Amino acid sequence: MSRIVIALGGNALQANPKDTSAEAQLFTCKETAKPIVDLIEEGHEVIVAHGNGPQVGQIVATYEAANTIDDGKPVMPFPECGAMSEGYIGYHLQQAIREEMRARGIQRDVASIITQVVVDPNDPGFKNPTKPVGSFFSQEQAMKLQEEKGYVMKEDAGRGYRRVVASPAPIAVVEEKIIKTMVDAGHVVITVGGGGVPVIEKEDGTLEGVAAVIDKDLASEKLAELLDADELVILTAVEQIAINFNKPNQKNLASITLEEAHKYIEEGHFAPGSMLPKVKAAMQFAKSKMGRKSIVTSLNKAKDALQGKTGTVIIQ
């Protein structure tokens, strides 16, 4: 059987974007656990990664609401908010996966690891922050935050101003050895949640958290390489990658080579905020070592995709 890194998309955590309650997320995670445990039941080694965009945004907004910019109270630093989201999403997933395994008589342990991911302080992403986080502010409030806290604030589609942070590329996973030890021992591991907490490594070897968001698909790809996984499965809202998406001439793709993927990217077939990072992560893993395979598909089709029945396979 294969060692598989599964990167869960946002729909695997929040089926209804309008209901962001913890109760709704736990319910969704229990449904998400079923196709994951299907793969575990078949004997695969499964490592689970996930996004955290809405969740970390909620956490940041909650602290912003509780500590207004005028009362002098400190706002929770962004890296800590990321770690909080890793913790509570991981708790929901590990509880759901454990319950589903027990219901099927599978005796395996599952645990989440608060994961730190090293980034380069000179990454070009820090020079042009683009990821909006947290609450909306008036222009006056935004300018004050910019001046007093050093935030980068940008106007967001006429709804007000929001803080934006960088999205640097992942370099290394700090807890790599711990994760590998747990996977080798047969445990189900949930890790690099939300792309992991971004940290920079100082000259003395200490780590410092930075205000940034690492793309979860790129972090999952890096993890898959480090764990020498056989397959990277990126789960999203669609069953297959398509070109000419949502157009009369839409064409779903069962398999694409790296050369074809480059061509489609140059032709602008993949949206920067959605499918493009998934395709790039899939390409990176496929070219990292001969024999490695990336699959992009929907959550409920993961088992079929691994059997070659659906999904989009990216190969060298």
Nearest of 253, 310, 281, 316 to residue 5 by alpha carbon: 281
Residue-wise DSSP of 211-273: SB---HHHHHHHHHHHTT-SEEEEEESSSS-EESTTSTT-EE-SEEEHHHHHHHHHTT-S-TT
Which helix H or strand E contains 45, and what residues bound it? strand 45-50
Q: Can you read off the two tokens belonging to residue 9?
A: 């998309």
DSSP assignment string, 119-160:
--TT-GGGGS--EEEEEEE-HHHHHHHHHHH--EEEE-TTS-
- CA–CA separation, 291 vs 179, rounded Å? 23
Find the largest Cα–Cα distance for the chain.
Answer: 58
Contact 225, 285 (CB under 8 A): yes
Which of 185, 261, 196, 184 is closest to 223 using CA atoms? 196
161-165 and 131-137 beta bridge pairing: antiparallel
Q: Which residue type sits at 31?
A: E
- Name the amino acid, one letter, at 53: G
Q: Is 306 exposed, middle or buried (0-12, 13-18, 19+ CB in 10 A)?
A: buried
DSSP string for residues in 201-223: E-TTS-EEE-SB---HHHHHHHH
What number of residues does the chain have?
Answer: 316
Catalytic positions, please? 10-11, 131, 216, 278
